[in-house]
Structure 1
């Protein structure tokens, strides 16, 4: 009662080894990607700070001395009275 071709042959061991490496590789890669997703920072998420507004740019120019106090006050008044379009 000898049955043939029911045991794992040489190629069966090769495919079994390949499957094991593939399984563990996918498992480790999935775990690493999950950790990377959970612990990413805002800069990794593509969130960028909003560009500075007109009042901020005007205040920076005044702080650098490019404009004087009167010009700063005039331009700031114009910015605050006109509605954004």
Structure 2
């Protein structure tokens, strides 16, 4: 059964899909790790910008989430912070 290294039940791990399958597995793992860390890095290190805050304010106003007065006061506060 385990007479030779890598030979289980008469199937050598390097024949067929054994070696290729392991290589594909590690390539997928490495790609997943690169994707995960690159995505986290861009979302975490994105700097806060006033133009982004203004665009969010404009979107909220367009959706009707805030009133005219609230929009104007927040817009003035953002322009003062520049």
User: For the superposition of Structure 1 and Structure 2, which TM-score range results when normalised by the shorter chain?
Assistant: 0.3 to 0.5
Task: State the TM-score, normalizing by the size of structure 2.
Answer: 0.45
Task: State the TM-score, normalizing by the size of structure 1.
Answer: 0.44
Structure with higher strand content: 2
Q: Which has the higher contact order (CA 8 A, sep 6+)?
A: 1
Structure with higher helix content: 2
